[in-house]
Chain A
Amino acid sequence: MQNINNLALAKVNTQKATQKRAQLSADLLLPQVTTATLELMINKVLALNNNNAISFTTLEQKTLMLVLTELPFTLCFTVNTSANKTVVIVRSECEFNDCTINTSINTLNKLKAAQSLTQLIKQDELDVIGDIKIAQQFATIAQSLDIDWKTELAKHLGDIPAHKLLHFGNKVTKSIVATGKQFEADLAEYVVHEKRLVVTSSQINAFNQNTKDLVSQVDALSTRIDKLIAELAKITNK
């Protein structure tokens, strides 16, 4: 009974914390800051895209809603091609959408790494409601974007600094990825093997207690030996 009450209380507290988080984020206009930034970035990237094979016509006026576990608000992406160029409008609320994806940022990264949408759905890492084709088309477009960063950077910085900067960026990325992989491996090693060998706090407490007992036993023995020596000395003197 006590456990059930605790669970209910914990659930209420979690709900309150989530509501508080959502309220704070709304007060700070965080959803609007996020959507404005995303919109700017996406449309910049689309403007730089060199892959002419990408077609947005089937996505015209279609809205994809993304519900990320890490965010207290949703992200809605609507495609518009009416002004002779493709723009993606990002909003934090949309009452009507063609497809909803429930997932986490981590899974989105996996999606970027060319893992198929269906595979992730099978693994329960991603939940799709509505027209799955819309989600697939968005994913395909994100994977097929072809941007020549070196040329774009060179326009602003010049050829050599752009080359150096990208070379340095690649090196840093590789190093970060390698460090991440090493950290993952170390962590796995620790969890699988070393954690089992690590002494627990109760074992330390028991060891401390045993040591104390041993010390008191040694003290008692030492006192007894002293007494015996004293008695032996008396007998010898007589």
Chain B
Amino acid sequence: MSSTDQSPQTSDLPATPQTPTNGDTNSTTHFGYKTIEKEDKISMVAGVFHSVAKQYDVMNDLMSFGIHRLWKRFTIDASGVRPGNKVLDLAGGTGDLTAKFSQLVGRDGKVVLADINSSMLNVGRDKLRDKGLVQNIDYVQANAEYLPFEENTFDIVTIAFGLRNVTDKDKALRSIYSVLKPGGRLLVLEFSKPENELLTKAYDFYSFNILPKMGELVAKDGESYQYLAESIRMHPDQETLKDMMENAGFEQTSFKNLTGGVVALHKGYKF
């Protein structure tokens, strides 16, 4: 699927750049609809998340009407986590998934909350400590493309609403594959392409007209939420991401559309 297919239908929306779906050439990548040098993306994404970290949870609840909690629950349910498992919650942000995983793996298990952004990690650490979740959680500031863990370490790796912000998604998927144990699974929860045309139009209108205004009002940062909407449109669709996972080595890959495809949960195994 080309990026043109993913472009929003509403006429007052900015046109999407004519780049490959995963947005990458050798030296450039995308930042929302802008084409930028690859080395600039990390700092630009970091800027967005430093800016929104403190209001991140409130904004998530507001923007998704609380449905993000159900999407995350769906991910936990699909993870097949059991006591004693080692889980890596990549781009774990404010630790919603980590909190649940921590309770499910128990004392014998371990959860690593990893995020490239120190502000998000700090907010997540404070939140989890306030909940009394301290025994089995480690915090690591890490880039998904170069995971600082030994091969075959984790039973489960999750990345929820984080992959679209990664500069080189293929490299990140290969890095995740490497740290997973044989038999381990990756779960990617990410915004995707709605299945229904009408829903797509409503979703586009909401994303480009309401979301940035909401960001301006609550987080005092409309631009970051404009980036959020654009980055969602530039993210690979369901089938493309599935192919990317297979190319990275994952087997038995599948995806499940949630809320009409606004979000999709991709699953793949390492054998």
| Residues A32 and B74 in contact, CB atoms below 8 Å apart | yes
Q: Does B76 touch A at the CB level, under 8 Å?
A: yes
| Residues B82 and A95 in contact, CB atoms below 8 Å apart | yes
| Residues B132 and A80 in contact, CB atoms below 8 Å apart | no
Q: Does B104 touch A at the CB level, under 8 Å?
A: yes
Which of B67, B71, B103 sits near A82, CB closer than 8 Å?
B103
Beyond A29-B258, A36-B70, A85-B132, is A80–B76 a contact (Cβ under 8 Å)? no
Chain A residue with the shortest CB-CB distance to B260: A27
| Residues A92 and B104 in contact, CB atoms below 8 Å apart | no
Q: Does B2 touch A at the CB level, under 8 Å?
A: no
Most buried by A among B69, B82, B103, B133: B103
- Total number of residue pairs linking A and B with CB closer than 8 Å: 60
| Residues A92 and B77 in contact, CB atoms below 8 Å apart | yes
Q: Please name all residues of chain B whose beta carbon is closer than 8 Å to the beta carbon of A95 when the two chains form the complex.
A: 80, 82
CB proximity to A under 8 Å, residues B12-28: none
Chain A residue with the shortest CB-CB distance to B128: A83
Q: Please name all residues of chain B whose beta carbon is closer than 8 Å to the beta carbon of A29 when the two chains form the complex.
A: 67, 70-71, 73-74, 258-259
Chain A residue with the shortest CB-CB distance to B109: A61
Chain B residue with the shortest CB-CB distance to A76: B77
Q: Please name all residues of chain A whose beta carbon is closer than 8 Å to the beta carbon of B133 when the two chains form the complex.
A: 82-83
Give A89 to B67 CA distance when docked, in angstroms: 19
| Residues A89 and B70 in contact, CB atoms below 8 Å apart | no
Q: Please name all residues of chain B whose beta carbon is closer than 8 Å to the beta carbon of A146 when the two chains form the complex.
A: none
Give A94 to B79 CA distance when docked, in angstroms: 9
| Residues A82 and B107 in contact, CB atoms below 8 Å apart | yes
CB proximity to A under 8 Å, residues B36-73: 67, 69-71, 73
Chain A residue with the shortest CB-CB distance to B135: A82
Closest CB in chain B relative to A71 CB, distance in Å: 14
| Residues A82 and B78 in contact, CB atoms below 8 Å apart | no
Q: Please name all residues of chain B whose beta carbon is closer than 8 Å to the beta carbon of A91 when the two chains form the complex.
A: 73, 76-77
Q: Does B106 touch A at the CB level, under 8 Å?
A: yes
Q: Please name all residues of chain B whose beta carbon is closer than 8 Å to the beta carbon of A85 when the two chains form the complex.
A: 132
Which of B103, B134, B135, B258 sits near A89, CB closer than 8 Å?
B103
Give A55 to B150 CA distance when docked, in angstroms: 39
Which of A35, A82, A87, A96 sits near B73, CB closer than 8 Å?
A35
| Residues A33 and B70 in contact, CB atoms below 8 Å apart | yes
Q: Does B171 touch A at the CB level, under 8 Å?
A: no
| Residues B258 and A80 in contact, CB atoms below 8 Å apart | no
Closest CB in chain B relative to A135 CB, distance in Å: 18
| Residues B82 and A89 in contact, CB atoms below 8 Å apart | no
| Residues A83 and B132 in contact, CB atoms below 8 Å apart | yes
Q: Please name all residues of chain B whose beta carbon is closer than 8 Å to the beta carbon of A35 when the two chains form the complex.
A: 73, 77
Q: Does A84 touch B at the CB level, under 8 Å?
A: yes
CB proximity to B under 8 Å, residues A70-101: 78, 80, 82-85, 87, 89, 91-96
Q: Please name all residues of chain A whose beta carbon is closer than 8 Å to the beta carbon of B103 when the two chains form the complex.
A: 78, 80, 82-83, 87, 89
In the assembled complex, 28 residue pairs joining A and B whose CB atoms fall closer than 8 Å, in A order, are: A26-B256, A29-B70, A29-B73, A29-B74, A31-B77, A32-B70, A32-B77, A33-B70, A35-B73, A36-B70, A61-B106, A80-B104, A82-B102, A82-B103, A82-B107, A82-B133, A82-B135, A82-B136, A83-B135, A84-B132, A89-B100, A89-B103, A93-B77, A93-B78, A93-B80, A94-B80, A95-B82, A96-B80
Which residues of A come within 8 Å of B, CB atoms? 26, 29, 31-33, 35-36, 60-61, 78, 80, 82-85, 87, 89, 91-96
List 11 additional contacts besides A61-B107, A96-B80; criterion CB under 8 Å. A29-B74, A32-B74, A36-B69, A60-B106, A61-B83, A61-B108, A80-B106, A83-B133, A83-B135, A87-B103, A92-B77
